[in-house]
Copies of this chain bind each other. A is one copy, B any other.
Amino acid sequence: MKIGVFDSGVGGLTVLAELRKALPEASFVYFGDTANVPYGTKSAEKIESLCRSAAQRISKMGIDALVVACNTASSLALGAIQEELGALPVFGVVEPGVGAALQIQVEGPILVLATRATVRSHAYLYRFQERMKELGRDSPALLELACPLLVPLIEEGWIDHSVLHLTLNEYLGAYAARFSSGIAVLGCTHFPWIQAAVEKALPGWVVVNSAQTVAQEVSLKLVSAHLPDERSGEVEWFFSDAPAVPDFARQWIEDTKRR
């Protein structure tokens, strides 16, 4: 079984890492659209058009399923990607993030940290409301918060840096001061790189990393197709602008190849 993993850039590597743990018998193709990163600051129309082009390219890579490992693409273009890929199973990252947050029982609001485009789409809000209705539960307070500086900070490699901590306090300080507990959903696949810093900025809160949940969901749904691949564990890499891959991600990919 060969699984495609698609992201606007290198954020999807956090999802790929969890997928490889959950599905050690699969092989993977990673496609990062680094020529067009970031998606999160672009319009809905532009994001859909980029996702359609990417899906057409990915459809020729001989995959058995696709994981859209990008919250912006999952929020704004999952339907468009599914259209391009016909009957192939396509998984997004919003649904599993919502599911994971709803399994946690703590007092306080649910806060989704995401890009501007994801927040504007309200994909998390709508999916939460649908799920609460299905479950017959009252909706908890759900807040969607755009944090556009976090991706550039991560790409600069400042993942345990005073500037990152100050930025997180700026974005999250008011919530930390008002609520002694709550659930923070990492609604961008870059953000697991800074999970520890987010936990520090929100003491008493539970932080949900949807990368793990996505991997579990994909693994469960593809269980019948769990046939060992002759190239098990292998990853093929494609980037639409390879020289633009940031150094920290390049290092991560090299380490993966050696494993």
Within 8 Å of chain B (Cβ to Cβ): is A83? no
Report whether A241 and B166 are in contact in the complex, using a CB–CB cutoff of 8 Å: no
Report whether A244 and B153 are in contact in the complex, using a CB–CB cutoff of 8 Å: no
Partner of A163, one of B42, B155, B166, B243: B166
Within 8 Å of chain B (Cβ to Cβ): is A170? yes
Contacts of A103 in B (CB 8 A): none
Q: Which residue of B lies closest to A246 (CB)?
A: B41
Report whether B149 and A43 are in contact in the complex, using a CB–CB cutoff of 8 Å: no
Interface residues in A134-167 (C-beta closer than 8 Å to B): 148-149, 151-153, 155-156, 158, 161-163, 166-167
A244 to chain B, nearest CB (A): 5
Contacts of A148 in B (CB 8 A): 152, 155-156
Report whether B149 and A241 are in contact in the complex, using a CB–CB cutoff of 8 Å: no
Report whether A244 and B163 are in contact in the complex, using a CB–CB cutoff of 8 Å: no
Copies of this chain in its oligomeric complex: 2
Contacts of A36 in B (CB 8 A): 36
Partner of A149, one of B37, B41, B153: B153
Which of A41, A151, A153, A242 counts the most chain B CB atoms within 10 A? A41
Contacts of A17 in B (CB 8 A): none
Report whether B166 and A244 are in contact in the complex, using a CB–CB cutoff of 8 Å: no
B-contacting residues of A (Cβ < 8 Å)?
Answer: 34-37, 41-46, 148-149, 151-153, 155-156, 158, 161-163, 166-167, 170, 241-244, 246
Instruction: Pull 6 A–B residue pairs with CB atoms less than 8 Å apart, ordered by A.
Output: A36-B36, A41-B246, A42-B241, A43-B241, A148-B155, A163-B167
